[in-house]
Amino acid sequence: MFKQNEVYKIVKKIPKGKVMTYGQIGNILDISPRQVGKILHENPRPDLIPCHRVVNAVGKTAKSYAFGGNEIQDKKLVQEGIVFSKGRVDLKKCLYKGNH
């Protein structure tokens, strides 16, 4: 997929304690949120590309998170200081809007 590297570049810039949505990344690159998810599901280097910092539009983590399911994704985010409210990431506090 031709946008793979661009998705990974954006995700690498998300700081600890922040998240982005699939839609945000899709809008930046003019691709669908589903394409973003597919690319992240195939992430070859989750140790370098923190795909656990990407959530859906309402702040929910991915049940099909490729590296252990949403329980693992939730755990990683909590360890980084992400705040959850009612099972969702608090996007008002944790959404990253930095420059790309």
Rg (CA), the chain: 12
C-alpha distances in Å from residue 83, one per residue of 27, 59, 78: 25, 10, 7
Helix, strand or coil, per DSSP, at residue 80:
coil
Q: Which residues are part of the catalytic machinery?
A: 51
